[in-house]
Structure 1
């Protein structure tokens, strides 16, 4: 009786598995390239937005490195004696119940703690825009609304270059100069009594987030 190391039917299955594996191996990169966002240049000019979202805001900021491991949105690290972080995240307007709360949570989710109970302040300098500033940590964040797409962009800047970067990002987002009151605070020249114009509001927000 003829003996086989592998039964003919098993050999056929092995060839089929090998063929499928080969096809998957060569086809996967093409399929993934259509699904996943394209790789970004590590030293690209900063464009605020989020991968797989059409809305973008180009800026003139260069020389910053893309943070490829960011979980959501886009983020960059700008080199210096102390690094400066820039990040942007987009939410659908219908998904944002409280823009102030979402701005605070977005900032906190990126790893930035606020110094002291009243260390930060929330403001509304432009209709539909909310800002958050924490001068002690060189932290500034703000929102941008896109009525056409019904989306809200949350932008966070933190680090030694926060004033310079915030000025450039604000100009790119709104086409206007950075508000003088924020410049003074990030420079450390604003009077202490003006640091928090909304103390009761920030107290309540602290309690809600505790």
Structure 2
């Protein structure tokens, strides 16, 4: 399930910025060739950045790439490491829920005032803000699921599993993952080499 969500969010993230790159390319060509502007590339770029950031929150949580200050973490007693790991994931879930809750009030005010973007398109802000809210809700749901799982592991005494799943990644783990990813991409990108025997030579 986690892999499915990560793949789906990663695909959506990529599509958003691929679409933005197409718009920017068309905008640049039209300006240079026809001296005409769509007058909306900057606006769409702001929306893509805001929405993409909320998706990146979830991707970073799933991939355990959120920054944690772990200078002293490995030197602490095992019980304190477990407590800090549990606290980190539960506090992040609370923060994610708070962001989604506050975003809802932002959209409610936008609807009440019928706010529009201060751009030539005058886009009703409720539309991009709704997509932004959905990203924050997804982040809140993912982080809440992780917090519940971590709490179950803590209460059941499975502290080693909790530390492995929610503790900060070591330098060795990061290097191993990068090397494995490089091997996977190299094998996928490598052309298929067919053995060709020269005429008259033995195979």
**TM-score class, shorter:** under 0.3
Greater strand share, 1 or 2?
Answer: 1
Higher relative contact order (CA 8 A, sep 6+): 2
Greater helix share, 1 or 2?
Answer: 2
TM-score (norm: length of structure 2): 0.22
